[in-house]
Amino acid sequence: MVIVWGLSCFSGAALAYDMIECGRVHKKFMFLREIDMAKIFLICGKICSGKTTYAKSLIKTIPAVLLSNDEITYILFGSHGGKEHGVVSERTQRYLFQKSLEIIESGINVVLEWGFITRAERLEVSEFYKQNNIEYEWHYIDTPDDVLLERLGKRNQDIADGKSTAHYFDYDFAKQFRRV
């Protein structure tokens, strides 16, 4: 016997499933008190603003899976992505968007952490989840520029000293994101 489950309505008031037995499909319904729909939490902020630290604390307070673009690109390419970093990062993000849909369909919250630096990016991501009928919530990490530059200096020094596996960013690159 194979049981196939699927939500019959987005509000989560009833759960419908097909019971397939000996090649015949029997429609069954279970009425539930309440189903909490999974949600996407999007972490937005500048380089070295504390997004990763915040995301890791967030998944401890809400049950969620953390999907991090930096984590995957580092595992695959190390801390220096080189001239292809932008292309690889964009492809990784597209993959993680699709993965987030699979995880959400399983009823598990997802935290996406990779900056979403431009307004156009944020609008595109919001539209993507809206079109897929998925609730989402933006969390912006607001950190003063002088603190960002101090953290960036420490981060880059830790990378140079072999104490960190983060991505290396020079000051000129970071300055282009002064306004998020």
Element spanning 119, H or E: helix 119-131
Dist CA 67 CA 94 (whole Å): 12
- Please list the residue range(s) of the chain that carry CATH number 3.40.50.300: 39-175
Query: What single string gives the DSSP state of each residue in 48-99?
Result: TSSHHHHHHHHHHHTTEEEEEHHHHHHHHH-S--GGGHHHHHHHHHHHHHHH
pLDDT tens across the length of the chain (180 residues): 222 232 333 344 334 444 444 445 444 444 443 456 899 999 988 888 889 889 999 999 999 999 998 888 878 877 666 677 778 888 999 999 999 999 999 999 999 998 898 899 999 999 999 999 999 999 998 888 888 888 888 877 877 778 766 666 665 555 555 554
Residues 6+ apart with CB under 8 A from 156: 168, 169, 170
Model pTM score: 0.70
The top-level CATH class assigned to 39-175 is: alpha beta
